[in-house]
Amino acid sequence: MRTATLLLFLLAGCAGTAPKTPAPSDPAALSSALNRVSWGVNLSTYQQAEKLGYDAWLERQLHPAPAVLPADAQAQIDAMTITRTPLPQLVRDLEQQRKDYDKAMADDDAKKAAQRAYQQELNRLAREAATRSLLRDLYSPNQLQEQMTWFWMNHFNVHQAKSNLRVLVGDYEETAIRPHALGKFRDLLAATLRHPAMIRYLDNEQNAANRINENYAREIMELHTLGVDGGYSQGDVQQLARILTGVGVNLGDSMPNVKKDKLDQYVRKGLFEFNPNRHDYGDKQFLGATVKGRGLAEVDEALDRLSRHPATARYVSRKLAVYFVADEPPPALVERMAASFLASDGDIAATLRTMFTSAEFTQSLGRKFKDPVHYVVSAVRLTYDDKVVLNAGPMLNWLTRMAEPLYGRQTPDGYPLTQSGWASPGQMTTRFEIAKAIGTGSNGLFKAEGPQPQERPAFPQLANALYYQSLQKSLAAPTRQALEQAGSPQEWNTLLLSSPELMHR
C-alpha cells in the first residue's frame, strides 16, 4: 500500500515541468545532456564524457569510429543467423521452404505444421533483429548513431508482419539505415528506396507502366521528405509513381526476360531489381520540372529534387527537434537547423550539431518525455551499466506491453514522438511494474534461454557513484522524500526508476 501511494505521488509529477537545466558544466547538467544524446546516461558513459570533456565526447558521437561492443554482447550478435547468413541466401532458403510445402504436401495436418514452422522461423529471425538492435542500444559506444538508427527506422517505417518482412527487417536496419544514420540524407533516402523491405512494404513491386500503384510515391513525399504541407500536388504523386515504375524485388536466382533494346537498362543488386519491362518511359512533370524518361536515372533525379527541397529541410529538421528537444520545438531553432541542412547538402550530423549546441536544446534538458523504448533502454543502462544482459526477451516483452515493439508499427507514419502518445494511466502503471521488475532484479535479463539456460544473477546497483555525484542533484524534493521512505533497497530502486525525473530525458 505504501509503495502504491508513493507511486501515485511520483507519477503525478510526470506531467509537471522540470526545472531549467544549465549548460553541461557541472555533474548534474552533464548527466542531463548525456541522457538526451545517448540512450540514457550510465556510469561508464558519464565517466567517458567527463574524461574527454563534453564537447569532445559529442564530436565523437557525431562522427563515430566503428563501434566495438563488449565481447559478451558481440558474441550474441555473431551467433545470430541474420549475422552468419547473407540475406539473399536466407530469403531463397525460406522461399524454397514455403514453395515446397505449398506444392508437395497433400496431408492437411502436415501442411499446417510446415506452415507453422515457416512462420516460426520468420518470427525467430525478426526477434534476432530486435535483440541485435537492443544490444547495440545498450552497449555501443556510438550512442547517438544508435539513437539515430531508431529514429530513421521510425521515420522510414516498415511493418514486419507484412509478407516476409520479418526476414528482411534486420538487413534493412543494418545496411540501409545504420550506415547512413549520421551521413547525408540523400544517401539514406536512396538506401531505403533500394531495399526490398521498403519496396515490398509500400507495394512498389506492384507499380508498373499502365498499372500504377501510388502508395510509395505518396509516402515518400508526405512522410519521408516534403511533409504533408510541402507544396506538392496529387499530380506530383502520380508523376513520381510513374518515375518509380520498374523498381521492385527479385527473390529468385534468374533475371526476367528483358526486351533486347532495354537490356542495358536492367539493374540487379542483391534482392533489388529495376526491370525496364515494367517501367513507364514517357516524360514526366514532377515538382514543376520535366523528368526525361530514361529508366532508373529518373529515380535518382527525383531523389535529388526531394532531398534538396527547402520543405524537406524544414520537415526533417522539425521532426529531429521534436525527437530531441520538445513536442512543440521553437520555430527559430527549426529554421536554423533547416538552414544547416540546406547549406551542408543534407548532412545529418551538421544539422544535429546546430541543434545540440543551441540554447534551446540546453534549456530543454530533462523535459522531454520518454517513449517506451527510451524508458526501457535507459532504465536497463542505468541499472546495469556495461554488464551485458544474456536475454533481451524481457525487454522485448515490455515494449510489446507498452505498444511500441520494434518493427511493430503497422502504418508508415511510425510511432508518435510526443508525450501524448505514451503518458496514459495504463502506460504509467505498466512502467511502474517494469521499474519493479528491474529494481528488484527479478526480470530474467541475466538468464539465457535454451535447453541448458545459463544464469548470472545481477542485483541492481543504482545507489552508486553516478547517483550521488550527479543524478541525486537533479531530483525534486518530493522524489527525494519518497526515496527516504523506501523500506528496502529493492523498493528504493523501484521508486527511483519510476520517478518523474526518470520518465524524462
Give tens-digit pLDDT for 298-331. 999 999 999 999 999 999 999 999 999 999 999 9
Backbone angles phi, psi at 211, to 5 degrees: -150, 65
Over residues 452-480, mean pLDDT: 92
Cα dihedral value 179, 181, 182, 187, nearest 10: 70
Q: Give residue for cell 550510465.
A: 42
φ, ψ of residue 286 in degrees (nearest 5) = -125, 125
- Assign 483 to helix, strand or coil: helix
Residue 112 has pLDDT above 50, yes or no: yes
pLDDT tens digits, one per residue of 395-411: 999 999 999 999 999 99
Q: What pLDDT is recorded for position 18?
A: 40
Give the pLDDT of residue 10: 52
Gap between the Cα atoms of 214 and 219, Å rounded = 9
| Cell output for 250 | 527479385
Using the predicted structure, report yes or no on whether residue 8 has a pLDDT greater than 90.
Answer: no
> Are 51 and 158 spatial neighbours (Cβ–Cβ below 8 Å)?
no
In 3D space, the residue among 197, 286, 189, 199 whose CA is nearest the CA of residue 245 turns out to be: 199
Would you say 391 and 449 are in contact if contact means Cβ atoms under 8 Å apart? yes
Q: Does residue 101 register a pLDDT over 90?
A: no
Looking up cell 546495469, which residue turns up?
384
CB atoms within 10 A of CB 444: 18
Q: What's the average model confidence in pLDDT over 63-67?
A: 98
* Nearest-angstrom CA–CA distance, 106 and 115: 13
Q: Which residue has the cell 524534493?
A: 477
Kindly give the residue spans of alpha helices, DSSP state H, lying in 270-371: 296-307, 310-324, 331-343, 348-356, 359-364
pTM of the model: 0.95
CA distances from 186 to 174, 225, 311 (A): 17, 10, 14
pLDDT at 138 exceeding the cut of 90? yes
Burial state string for 317-352 with b = 16 or more CB within 10 A and e = fewer than 16: bbbbbbbbbbbebbeebbebbbbbbbebebbbbbbb
Pick the more confident residue, 7 or 67.
Answer: 67
Does 20 have pLDDT greater than 60?
A: no
133 pLDDT more than 90: yes
User: Which residue has better confidence, 127 or 1?
Assistant: 127
**Which tens digit of pLDDT belongs to each residue from 271-290?**
999 999 999 999 999 999 99
470 with 46: CB under 8 angstroms? yes
CA distance linking residue 82 with residue 85, whole number of Å? 6
Can you say how many angstroms the Cα of residue 339 is from the centroid of all Cα atoms in its chain?
25
pLDDT digits (tens, 9 = 90+) for 229-263: 999 999 999 999 999 999 999 998 899 999 999 99
CA distance linking residue 199 with residue 158, whole number of Å: 10
Closest CA to 337 of 37, 328, 347, 327: 347
Contact 476, 501 (CB under 8 A): yes
Contact 332, 363 (CB under 8 A): no
pLDDT of residue 455: 85
Which pLDDT score, from 0 to 100, does residue 98 have? 82
| In the predicted structure, residue 16 carries a pLDDT above the cut 80 | no
Which one is predicted more confidently, 143 or 109?
Answer: 143
Report the pLDDT averaged over residues 64-69.
Answer: 98
Please state, for a pLDDT cut of 90, what percent of the chain lies above it: 87
Cell numbers found for residue 265: 537498362
